[in-house]
């Protein structure tokens, strides 16, 4: 049953992050002791259970029946009935199978979309620990109410949206909600600003996130569908609004035109034939057969086969397609909105630069693997430079709580990603935790906390002394330092030194890097080291590390390829604007004139203004789920075909709302994958661009197959129409028309639909959403092909009528038309390249099908049973050879036209 409980959001949301504890308690009617049992029960009855509700959905039966309501389906069913009435049971069964197959696929696509909402519901906590009447109790998460005081510790799933009132070294993992890959430090403090982005609300925790470390008390302010997750679920349920893909729109429009034009012509033929006194029964059967032949009923199956083959080819390029039409739609894409972390970037923090006073070291390599080098001006550091470098990496390796582990050739971090990056940098200089522990055993650790903004580890340096290694925020460390290590010696830290260090910190930050400082102090024998304030004073400044999540090595070339193909790449991230802009410029995504906009700025922009500005904005930072959906819709408002990538729950609504939703296979949540059309198994942007290429190739195959089919249909219609207008006997009877439909529109068309992709497909501009599949060139090609085929066949028929009887003349026309359409399939493989440039061997299936079909057609006059069924009398082999030669004329003319166009394009 559908749950009808109220989901409306209040007109103005309370700014919970701005309230102090007293105001928070007063607003929510609670205390640190929590709610009483009776009050909790009353609120539970008032607000409803704390759970994500099931969106209103259509029944499975309604979804299934909805797949068979289109005009083209009705015509196909009528064609199947007509085929059955004519005794052509094979055609009847094939057409009905096509209808059922495509209806089943459409039903599966719509029904499976509900999995995204089910996956989202599974991410909520089953139980929660709350204070009730002063006691700590475990309750079902669905019974948590506004005003409950939560007790949170490492490993817990947060059961509702809540404001922190007490914290102790508290960090949460908000990646599913904000996309932030690193644990977020949380503090119980007032944020006295009106508009604070979701990712910056450090005094709040949210449903669906998890506790990474520490402990906290928090007061619940929103439950169920009023939480941030609940809002995402509402957006997810309505994000795509049942929109059709570009291909579906084009084929739907084309189907209507084809159906009415074909029926109009067939009706005209029947009317004219009746006026001319043709036998009514023969005329009726021929008209019905022509109607069956005129409607390309094989097109839905060919589209499905072509898309299915595209799925297989994409899978080999690390893209798993969940919905068939995503293959073609991706080929139409002209905007890719990409998440940054793990898609455009490696997804692992990496030290890029190390600095000691007077020297800057470049660090190569990516991620946590120890592969890479540390160089000074391109050379290995020696002398005093090496001494300073080793001292810096000793601090970063020795003052560290993480560990690196290799699994199946892949290095992973156990612990904080930032500390993992520092360990990887140390290994590149042969400084490892194991070697350091053996040489300088660990004596005591003062862990990082948000108040001190630093961490220190005391290690044994000799029999009589110890060494305090301290790392943390550079500005904080500088305030504790009075000396500096430079050129292997210790000097007094001067004002000029402080200014130089500050300038270097600013330089690192301006390039989008996170900066950590390193310092140390020798502790004399007998001096206490268990008090952090006593240890972390009188420090010697050692140096800095600049790190970030680096761009993937192949991402820049993939972005360039996409841009050359006319595709706009837009970066959307939860990172800080400065970091986002630095990565965007390094990858070539942000042009000099482009804007970089944050989520807070986006809140002040109306939907209309955003649609007007969206083409000038290349980078979005600190954005939420609703922002991402607005960005996608703004691009679609401009007529773009949009692909959206992501991995977190906050990406799911935009992924559902985009024309093509792309989830990350390695880091993506189940919610995101369920909402997507396609999953990239290696989380690599280059794989997305490769999938675009495959999508373009698939569309090109569908288009040329359609052109081939319509060219044949137009030829048949023109042949029959002109013959009737001229008062000639019908050149083809009902059975022959159905045979042509079976032989020329079946296997050859399927072989065209599976043609190898043209290597130049990415050199073409992307198609606009408003572009028709049948543009002027397409229609001209179809009409010319149809005229040539009809003209040659009619000429053969007219000549044969003068020299032979009607039965043999009809057999000549029948054979000529079949040969013409079969041979034309070779030329249909490309609109611009001649046959000899493509090569027959590049599509051996087509060559074999055409050869076999021609062999069968040649044998018809010589096999009595088949000849009688298809009204083909015996004829000399010389007649067959002549018809085959004449049937090659349309192909020859079209190939000569290609040569003429190629010469016209040459300078």
Residues with active-site annotation: 339
CA-CA distances (angstroms) from residue 740 to 87, 96, 469, 786?
A: 16, 19, 85, 14
**864 token code pair:** 């009595």
Give, for 135, the enclosing helix (H) or strand (E).
strand 135-140
Q: What are phi and psi of 51, to 5 degrees?
A: -150, 160
Q: What angle do CA 778, 779, 785 make, to 5 degrees?
A: 90
Taking CA 793 as the corner, what is the angle to CA 787 and CA 798, rounded to the nearest 5 degrees? 115
Nearest to 554 by CA among 348, 366, 725, 355: 366
d(CA 676, CA 654): 10
Report the chain's C-alpha Rg in angstroms: 36
Instruction: Report the helix count and the strand count for the chain, using DSSP H and E.
Output: 35, 27
Contact 588, 560 (CB under 8 A): yes
Q: Is 434 left (phi over 0), alpha (psi -120 to 50) or beta?
A: alpha
* CB contact at 8 A, 428 and 373: yes
The secondary element (H helix, E strand) that includes residue 704 is helix 685-725
Distance CA 810, CA 732 (A): 6
CA 244 to chain centre: 17
Q: What single DSSP character describes residue 551? A: B
Q: How far is CA 396 from CA 185, 477, 485, 612, 697, in A?
A: 20, 14, 15, 48, 51
Q: What is the DSSP code string of 747-791?
A: HHHHHHHTPPPPTTGGGSPPPPTT--SS-HHHHHHHHHHHHHHHH
Residues 6+ apart with CB under 8 A from 512: 548, 578, 579, 580, 581, 582, 583
Phi then psi for 466, rounded to 5 degrees? -130, 170
């Amino acid at each position: 049953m559908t749950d009808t409980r109220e989901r409306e959001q209040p007109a103005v949301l309370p700014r919970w992050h701005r309230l102090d504890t007293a105001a928070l308690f007063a607003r929510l009617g609670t205390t640190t002791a929590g709610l009483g049992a009776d009050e909790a029960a009353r609120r539970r009855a008032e607000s409803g259970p704390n759970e994500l509700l099931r969106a209103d959905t259509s029944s499975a039966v309604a979804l299934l029946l909805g797949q068979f309501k289109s005009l083209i389906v009705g015509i196909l069913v009528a064609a199947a009935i007509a085929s059955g009435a004519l005794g052509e049971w094979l055609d009847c069964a094939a057409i009905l199978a096509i209808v059922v197959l495509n209806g089943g696929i459409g039903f599966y696509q719509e029904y499976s979309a509900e999995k995204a909402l089910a996956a989202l519901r599974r991410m909520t906590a089953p139980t929660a620990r709350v204070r009730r009447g002063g006691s700590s109790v475990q309750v079902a998460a669905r019974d948590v109410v506004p005003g409950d005081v939560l007790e949170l510790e490492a490993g817990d799933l947060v059961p509702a949206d809540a404001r922190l009132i007490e914290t102790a070294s508290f960090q949460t993992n908000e990646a599913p909600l904000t996309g932030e890959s690193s644990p977020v430090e949380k503090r119980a403090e007032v944020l006295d600003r009106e508009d604070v982005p979701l990712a910056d609300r450090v005094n709040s925790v949210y449903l669906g996130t998890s506790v990474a470390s520490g402990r906290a008390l928090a007061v619940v302010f929103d439950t169920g569908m009023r939480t941030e997750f609940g809002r995402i679920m509402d957006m997810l349920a309505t994000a795509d609004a049942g929109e059709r893909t570009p291909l579906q729109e084009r084929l739907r429009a084309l189907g209507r035109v084809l159906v009415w034009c074909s029926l109009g012509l067939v009706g005209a033929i029947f009317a004219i034939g009746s006026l001319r006194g043709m036998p009514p029964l023969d005329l009726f059967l021929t008209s019905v057969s022509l109607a069956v032949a005129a409607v390309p009923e094989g097109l839905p199956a060919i589209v499905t086969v072509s898309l299915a083959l595209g799925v297989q080819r994409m899978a080999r390029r690390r893209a798993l397609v969940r919905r068939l039409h995503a293959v073609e739609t991706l080929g139409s894409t002209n905007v890719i909105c990409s998440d940054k972390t793990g898609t455009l970037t490696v997804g692992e923090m990496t030290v890029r630069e190390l600095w000691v006073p007077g020297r800057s070291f470049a660090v190569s390599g990516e991620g946590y693997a120890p592969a890479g080098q540390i160089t000074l001006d391109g050379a290995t550091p020696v002398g005093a430079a090496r001494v300073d470098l080793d001292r810096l990496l000793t601090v970063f390796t020795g003052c560290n709580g993480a560990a690196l582990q290799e699994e199946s050739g892949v290095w992973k971090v156990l612990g904080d990603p930032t500390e993992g990056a520092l360990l990887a940098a140390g290994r590149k200089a042969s400084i490892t935790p194991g070697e350091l522990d053996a040489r300088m055993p660990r004596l005591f650790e003062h862990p990082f906390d948000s108040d001190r903004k630093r961490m220190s580890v005391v290690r044994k340096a000799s029999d009589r002394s110890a060494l305090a290694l301290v790392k943390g925020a550079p500005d904080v460390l500088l305030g504790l330092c009075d000396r500096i290590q430079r050129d292997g010696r210790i000097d007094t830290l001067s004002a000029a030194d402080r200014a130089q260090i500050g300038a270097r910190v600013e330089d690192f930050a301006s390039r989008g890097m996170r900066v950590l400082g390193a310092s140390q102090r020798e502790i004399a024998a007998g001096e206490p080291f268990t008090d952090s304030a006593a240890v972390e004073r009188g420090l010697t400044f050692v140096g800095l590390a600049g790190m970030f999540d680096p761009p993937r090595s192949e991402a820049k070339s993939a972005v360039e390829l996409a841009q050359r193909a006319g595709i706009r790449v837009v970066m959307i991230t939860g990172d800080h604007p400065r970091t986002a802009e630095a990565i965007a410029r390094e990858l070539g995504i942000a042009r000099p004139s482009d804007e970089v906009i944050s989520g807070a700025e986006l809140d002040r922009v109306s939907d209309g203004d955003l649609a007007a500005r969206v083409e000038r904005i290349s980078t979005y930072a600190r954005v939420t789920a609703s922002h991402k959906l607005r960005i996608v819709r703004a691009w679609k408002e401009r007529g773009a075909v949009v692909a959206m990538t992501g991995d977190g729950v906050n990406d799911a609504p935009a992924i559902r709302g985009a024309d093509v939703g792309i989830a990350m296979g390695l880091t993506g949540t189940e919610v995101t994958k369920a909402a997507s059309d396609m999953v990239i198994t290696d989380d690599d942007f280059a794989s997305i661009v490769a999938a675009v290429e495959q999508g373009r190739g698939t569309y090109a195959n569908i288009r040329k197959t359609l052109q081939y089919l319509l060219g044949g249909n137009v030829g048949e219609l023109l042949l029959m129409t002109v013959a009737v207008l001229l008062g000639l006997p019908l050149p083809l009877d009902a059975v022959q028309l159905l045979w042509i439909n079976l032989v020329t529109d079946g296997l050859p068309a399927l072989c065209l639909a599976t043609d190898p992709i043209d290597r130049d497909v990415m050199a073409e501009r992307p198609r606009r959403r408003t572009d028709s599949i049948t543009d002027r060139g397409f229609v001209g090609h179809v009409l010319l092909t149809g005229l040539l085929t009809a003209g040659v066949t009619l000429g053969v028929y007219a000549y044969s009528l003068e020299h032979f009887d009607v039965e043999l003349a009809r057999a000549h026309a029948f054979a000529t038309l079949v040969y013409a359409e079969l041979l034309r399939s070779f030329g249909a493989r490309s609109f611009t390249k001649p046959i000899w440039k493509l090569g027959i061997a590049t599509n051996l299936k087509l060559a074999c099908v055409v050869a076999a079909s021609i062999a069968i057609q040649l044998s018809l006059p010589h096999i009595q049973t088949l000849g009688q069924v298809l009204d083909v009398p015996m004829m000399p082999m010389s007649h067959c050879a002549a018809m085959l030669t004449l049937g090659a004329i349309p192909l020859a003319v079209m190939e000569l036209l290609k040569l003429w166009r190629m010469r016209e394009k040459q300078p």
